[in-house]
């Protein structure tokens, strides 16, 4: 599979230094312009400050990019016609030479093939809630790709709008190791905890690194999910988020939103209904995950 590496990412990989992959859907679909450019630059800087190189992944005119130039980031952030690309969409993006933003699934897929072992994101996709009158049982491709791409994903759990118990059950069925980093419960994206237990936890970076290294050495044919809760002073309460989600889901149902459009629609509604608070929390947890991912990548490469 052909990929274009930025000079900094290629140099880091050639030298065996730490590299952290970043998805690009958060840029094109997660925040408005120019706030999305600010977020992308801040995430990359956080990673570099921790001694690793940042590799934001995207599709530009049909080419897979591992590490973006400033002008490529600008295209993703401001053009308005960027396709959200999961793994299944990559052949179309290549053939039609379109601009595409990578999801958790497609970023994991590309990162493994690029030789990158650690990936930071906000929160993974999962099992959607089968609300009355809704769209029924819908499982994100993120979960399947976690079961088959050997990449460690650092995230604040799964997005709060999802069915979190069912999401954990699917991850168990796919034999994906789920590790709580300095937590024994599954984070709920905007909230510190969902109240659900994680199957394993690591109390320090040293302990986490040993678990991850063992996973790779055992050649377990899956990725890993590292659950890193948002800092307490940045988090929203579970009650606050539940109320906002109920209102946002009702709006989505009335608007007839379905399939892959549900998550971005509801996240946008949450931002509006919370007067921008949910976006600030999203920003904080993304930067926190980038920091932990960079520490992990540096520890593994060391």
Question: Which residue, 267, 268, 259, 266, is CA-closest to 136?
Answer: 259
- For the question of residue 132 being annotated catalytic, the response is no
For the chain, the C-alpha Rg in angstroms (whole number) is: 18
Give the DSSP letter of residue 275: T
d(CA 67, CA 222): 24
Q: Which of 84, 145, 159, 295 is catalytic?
A: 159
- For the question of residue 169 being annotated catalytic, the response is no
For residue 92, the SS3 value is helix
For residue 184, the SS3 value is coil
Q: Which of 23, 112, 145, 295 is catalytic?
A: 23
d(CA 22, CA 294): 11
Q: Helices then strands (H, E): number in the chain?
A: 12, 11
Look at the chain and count its residues. Answer: 302
For residue 140, the SS3 value is coil
Angle (CA) 69 73 75, round 5°: 120
How buried is 251 (Cβ within 10 angstroms: 0-12 exposed, 13-18 middle, 19+ buried)?
middle
Instruction: Provide the annotated active-site residues.
Output: 23, 159
């Amino acid at each position: 599979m052909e990929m274009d590496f930025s000079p900094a990412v290629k140099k880091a990989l050639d030298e065996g230094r730490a590299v952290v992959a970043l998805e690009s859907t958060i840029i094109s679909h997660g925040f408005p312009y120019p706030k999305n450019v600010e977020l992308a630059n801040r995430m990359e800087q956080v990673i570099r400050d921790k001694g690793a190189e940042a590799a934001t992944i995207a599709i530009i005119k049909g080419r897979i990019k591992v590490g973006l130039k400033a002008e490529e980031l600008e295209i993703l952030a401001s053009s308005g016609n960027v396709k959200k690309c999961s793994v299944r969409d990559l052949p179309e993006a290549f053939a039609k030479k379109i601009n595409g933003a990578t999801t958790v699934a497609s970023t994991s897929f590309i990162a493994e093939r690029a030789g990158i072992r650690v990936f930071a994101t906000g929160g993974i996709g999962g099992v959607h809630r089968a609300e009355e009158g809704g769209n029924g049982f819908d499982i994100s491709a993120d979960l399947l790709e976690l079961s088959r791409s050997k990449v460690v994903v650092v995230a604040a759990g799964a997005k709060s709008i999802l069915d979190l118990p069912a999401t954990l059950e699917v991850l168990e069925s796919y034999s994906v190791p789920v590790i709580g980093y300095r937590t024994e419960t599954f984070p709920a994206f905007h909230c510190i905890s969902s109240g659900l237990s994680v199957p394993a936890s690591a109390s320090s970076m040293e302990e986490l690194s040993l678990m991850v290294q063992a996973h790779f050495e055992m050649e377990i044919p899956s990725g890993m999910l590292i659950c890193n809760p948002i800092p307490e002073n940045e988090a929203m309460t579970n009650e606050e988020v539940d109320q906002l989600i109920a209102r946002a889901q009702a709006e989505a149902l009335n608007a007839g939103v379905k399939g892959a459009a549900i998550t971005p629609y509801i996240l946008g509604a949450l931002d509006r209904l919370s007067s921008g608070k949910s976006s600030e929390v999203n920003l904080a947890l993304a930067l926190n995950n980038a920091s932990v991912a960079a520490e992990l990548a540096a520890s593994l490469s060391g």
